[in-house]
Structure 1
Amino acid sequence: MHIHIGRTASGRAVKITGSKTLTLANILTYSGCPKGLHMTGVIDCHSPEVIQEIEALIHTGELRELRDGGFQHENGLVLIPGSELEINDENCNGPIHVLAYFPDLPSLKSFSGWLSSKVTNIHLSSQRIYADGRELQLKVKGLGGLFIPAHIFTPFKSLYGKGVRNSLSEVFSPEQIDAVELGLSSNTAMANSIPELHKYTFLTNSDAHSLAKIAREYNSITMEAPSFKEFAKALKNEEGRKIAANYGLDPFLGKYYETTCSSCGVIMQDSAEKCQECGHGRKIRGVKHRIADLAEDIPSPLRPAYIPQVPLEYIPGLGPKTMDKLLDHFGTEMDILHHVPKGRLAEVTKEQLAETIHKARTGQLVFNAGGGGRYGKVARNENKGQ
Structure 2
Amino acid sequence: MDSFYADLHIHVGRDMNNKPVKITGSKSLTLINILKESSRNKGIDMVGVIDSHVPSVQQEIELLINNNKAIELVDGGIRFEHVTMLLGSEIEVYDESCYGPIHVLCFFPTIQHMKQFSNWLSTRMTNINLSSQRFYGAGKELQYKIKELEGLFIPAHVFTPFKSVYGKGVKTSITEVFDPDLIDAIELGLSADTTMADHISELHRYTFLTNSDAHSLSKIAREYQKINSKEASFKELECSLHQVNGRHIIENYGMNPLLGKYHQTVCKNCLLAYSGEGQCPKCGSIKIIKGVADRIDELQDTVEPVSTRPPYIYQVPLEYIPMLGPKAFRRLLDRFGTEMRVIHEASEQELKEVVHENIVQAIIKMRKGELPVIAGGGGKYGSVRKN
TM-score (norm 1): 0.96
AA aligned to 2:207 is T
Partner of 1:47: 54
Match of 2:168 among 137, 150, 162: 162
AA aligned to 2:280 is C
Q: Is the 8 A contact 2:172 2:299 kept in 1?
A: yes
Q: Percent identity?
A: 54
Partner of 2:141: 135
AA aligned to 1:364 is E
Measure, in 1, the Cα distance between the counterparts of 2:104 and 2:198.
20
Partner of 1:280: 285
Cα distance, 1:298 vs structure 2? 4.9
Per-residue deviation, residues 295-342 of structure 1 (Å, max 9, x unmatched): 123533220010110111111121222211211111111121232122
Cα distance, 1:380 vs structure 2? 3.2
AA aligned to 2:115 is K
Q: Is the 8 A contact 2:76 2:109 kept in 1?
A: yes
Match of 2:68 among 61, 66, 73: 61
Partner of 2:302: 297
Per-residue deviation, residues 131-172 of structure 1 (Å, max 9, x unmatched): 110010001000000000000000000010011000001000
AA aligned to 2:102 is I
What is the aligned length?
Answer: 379
**SS of equivalent residue, structure 1 residue 297:** coil
Match of 2:249 among 243, 247, 250: 243
Partner of 1:19: 26
**SS of equivalent residue, structure 1 residue 81:** strand
AA aligned to 1:55 is E
In 2 relative to 1, CA 298–380 (structure 1 residues): closer, same or farther, beyond 3 Å? closer
Measure, in 2, the Cα distance between the counterparts of 1:298 and 1:247.
22
AA aligned to 2:157 is H
AA aligned to 2:192 is S
Unaligned regions of 5+ residues in structure 2, if any? 1-7
Q: Is the 8 A contact 2:263 2:376 kept in 1?
A: yes
AA aligned to 2:247 is R
Alignment partner of 1:183 is 2:179: no
AA aligned to 2:17 is S
Measure, in 1, the Cα distance between the counterparts of 2:244 and 2:222.
27
Alignment partner of 1:254 is 2:260: yes
Measure, in 2, the Cα distance between the counterparts of 1:363 and 1:86.
33
Alignment partner of 1:145 is 2:141: no
Cα distance, 1:359 vs structure 2? 1.1
Partner of 1:362: 368
Partner of 1:322: 328
Partner of 2:14: 7
Per-residue deviation, residues 50-93 of structure 1 (Å, max 9, x unmatched): 010111111001111111111111x1211110000001111001
Measure, in 2, the Cα distance between the counterparts of 1:345 and 1:261.
43
TM-score (norm 2): 0.96
Partner of 1:308: 314
Cα distance, 1:201 vs structure 2? 0.6
Measure, in 2, the Cα distance between the counterparts of 1:77 and 1:187.
26
**SS of equivalent residue, structure 2 residue 10:** coil
- The range that moved more, 317-326 or 60-69, is 317-326
**SS of equivalent residue, structure 2 residue 134:** strand
Q: Is the 8 A contact 2:195 2:305 kept in 1?
A: no
Relative contact order, higher structure (CA 8 A, sep 6+): 2
Cα distance, 1:106 vs structure 2? 1.4
Alignment partner of 1:201 is 2:207: yes
**SS of equivalent residue, structure 1 residue 41:** strand
Question: Runs in 1 of length 4+ with deviation above 6 angstroms?
Answer: none
Partner of 1:384: none
- The range that moved more, 236-245 or 332-341, is 332-341
